[in-house]
Amino acid sequence: MARLENKVAVITGAASGFGEGMAKRFAEEGARVVVADLNAKGAERVAGEIGEAAIPVTADVTNASDIENMVAACMDRFGRLDVMVNNAGYSHRNGPLTEVDETIFDLITAVNMKAIYHTARLVVPIMEKQGGGSIITTASTAGLRPRPGLTWYNASKGWTITATKSMAVELAPKNIRVNCLCPVAGDTPMLATFMGEDTPEKRAQFRASIPLGRLSTPLDIANAALWLASEEAAFITGVALEVDGGRCI
């Protein structure tokens, strides 16, 4: 149980859902983890449950200064950064595209898109100096098979997939692998936003669209991220890995 031994990972949006699952799973496999989230109490809880191998950092990924502080905290505490997981995400509530407020649209682009730009500018030089690294972003099946009612969120995840592939090509000579995960909807705090409302009927409708018959779980996504971060995936870059129970088929 040491696939990430001696590696340090920064995970955004790690106070709940997929990010919490990744933080705990990475630590189980030997990683030291920066648990970053806008939710300070949640980040402290997750880091506390992990123990000495983790530190909490309060970070708003729409704020470049917060991202700088997050990376600085990682380097100050652990002295290196091997895996950057851009997991923080935001969506408008399911509904007509013309009814999404501009403020919400701007927040979607800041969290889902611009934050990747900010982290890349900081972590790429660190990884290059170390001889390599891994950047992983939580995209979505929405970027591959868009659902009605989530147009601007879908578009942001399509951007994420294209950015991943472009970064992978450009950073390959530096031995920095760049991949993204495309989860289907999971039982996380964002589920009600995706569905428009959280009812048994809506959940049944979502499950019916997934061939394996269930929603994703944080452990499903964490195990996929773990593989991409590990040396087992040393020859994998530029991939948008579908973790979706067959949804995108």
Q: Is the dihedral of CA 35, 38, 42, 44 positive or negative?
A: positive
**Beta-sheet strand order (sheet of 54-58):** 54-58, 32-37, 8-12, 83-86, 133-138, 176-183, 240-243
As a whole number of angstroms, the distance between CA 115 and CA 155 comes to: 16
- In the block, tokens 């450009």 appear at 170
CA dist 77 → 80, 114, 230, 241 (Å) = 9, 26, 22, 31
Neighbours of 72 (CB within 10 A): 12
Q: Is 90 a catalytic residue?
A: no
Instruction: Determine which one of 26, 78, 90, 153 is catalytic.
Output: 153
Active site residues: 153
